[in-house]
Amino acid sequence: MSERQSVPITVLVPERRNVELLQRCAADPSVMLLASGDTLAGAGLLGLLRVGRVMVIAPDVASRTAGCECCQVRLDLIDAVRCAVLRRSPPERLVVVVDRADSAVSGTTTGDDPASDVITAISTLHAGGEVERLAHLGGLVVDVDACAASTRLASGLAVWDSQMEAAIAIADSIVVTGAELLTEPSRSIIADSLSELNRIGQVIFCATEAIDVERLIVLDSWNRSPTLSCSSARDGGEPLAWPEVSPTHAEATVETVVLHRCGVLDSDATNAWLDRVVAESPRGLLRFQAALQVSTHHSRVCVRGSRSAMRSTTELQPGSTSSRRAPDDRGNVVVLIGRALDRQALSDSFESIEVAQ
């Protein structure tokens, strides 16, 4: 009996319906695309239903705790992942398209519709149970329409609504399409706006036809130690100090907190700290990712999650299949992305975790 591999999932959030990007994703025979019927029809991909290369999903949001927004999950995604993976020849990768509400596309302020909220989709993929058994989140790709963003900027409108802002802040890759139509200053403003918001991913400016789709969607960002974008990373044990939010983007309320610490931490105290962080701001915590040294004999533990959903795995070194190894000197790193995070309190409480005896 062959061992089934966990199928990686890439979540794709197009700001507008980028037909060409979807078509190029669908052209890869190892990929199965999960998207709404309208999106697939608009991209001319509904015919792939017949050969099992795409699957139609329709947001079906329920809360694990009645009335609790941070416990919302998308039941349709759980079903779809199950149906997509439990095949004789399962796809090598799933690409889940989270459609934006029409009002968001037009640049107006959206409500908090959980159906178009990428955080709800991300939380669902961390919610355990069937999804965790069959698949895992590999990465999040956000497709930004440069012309629309530039127009909103020039018009004095909010550049991103709250859901798009959250999606950009936690994205592993941000593709800015249509930027070739902008002037250099406009491109710079958009680039600055994105890099202020997102500290962990890469921003790619290019035309859709120039995108290397395989490189774009083959990500394994969530199951490893958090990485910071080049302009953000720095050595040393102190928490990173990010530049203040510029006055032109005062509406950017999502912030990134990076915590560093050396030594081997007490595992129980670390667990308690993580639980406390999640409990104190479940709705505001959009993404968290950490690599923590909690044993003198084993590799670091990688923790990732969103809102109240949290998962952990042992960090595997390249070429290694065992978690048993001497602790390294890379220490502990925690990245928290969210709204209304108390940077100082988080830093203080992280520093107060006991060291392992």
Partner 1 sequence: MTSSSQPILTTADIDWSTVLPDAVRVFDWSSKGRLLAIAADGSALVGGPERITAPMTPDPRDAIWLGERALAVVDPVVGLVTAGLNCGQPLPFWGACRVGTHGGRTVISGDGRLAVLGHSGINRVPEVIWTGVGVTHACVHVGGAMWALGGTNGLALIDVALGCVDTRVELSGVIAIAARGDAGRLVASDLAGAIHVFELSDLDSGVELTGYCDPVRLLAMSPDHRRVIAAAADELTHWAISDSGCVADEPTSIVVHDSTITALESSDSGFLATGDESGVVYVWSPLLAEHPVVRLQLDGEVTALAWSRDGTRLAIGSVSGELVVADVRAGALA
Residues that bind partner 1 (CB under 8 A): 1-2, 4, 37, 49-50, 52, 55-56, 58, 60-66, 73, 75-76, 83, 86-88, 128-130, 133
Q: How far is the CB of 101 from partner 1 (least distance, A)?
A: 18
Q: How far is the CB of 133 from partner 1 (least distance, A)?
A: 6
Distance CA(270)–CA(1), nearest Å, equals: 39
Q: How far is the CB of 132 from partner 1 (least distance, A)?
A: 9
Residue 120's region, left for phi above 0, alpha for psi from -120 to 50, else beta, is alpha
Q: How far is the CB of 147 from partner 1 (least distance, A)?
A: 33
Rank residues 32 and 353 by Cβ distance to partner 1 and give the closer one.
32
Quote the tokens at residue 134: 């069959």
Rank residues 151 and 312 by Cβ distance to partner 1 and give the closer one.
312
Contacts of 192 (CB under 8 A, 6+ apart): 246
Phi, psi of 35 (to 5 degrees): -150, 170
Rank residues 129 and 263 by Cβ distance to partner 1 and give the closer one.
129
Q: How far is the CB of 38 from partner 1 (least distance, A)?
A: 12
Rank residues 70 and 197 by Cβ distance to partner 1 and give the closer one.
70
Query: Rg of the Cα trace of the chain?
Result: 20
Rank residues 85 and 203 by Cβ distance to partner 1 and give the closer one.
85
Rank residues 198 and 308 by Cβ distance to partner 1 and give the closer one.
308
Asked whether the beta carbons of 254 and 339 are under 8 A apart, the reply is yes
78-to-11, 52, 96, 123 alpha-carbon distances in Å: 14, 17, 11, 11
Rank residues 4 and 324 by Cβ distance to partner 1 and give the closer one.
4
Q: How far is the CB of 6 from partner 1 (least distance, A)?
A: 12
Q: How far is the CB of 146 from partner 1 (least distance, A)?
A: 34
Distance CA(221)–CA(208), nearest Å, equals: 22
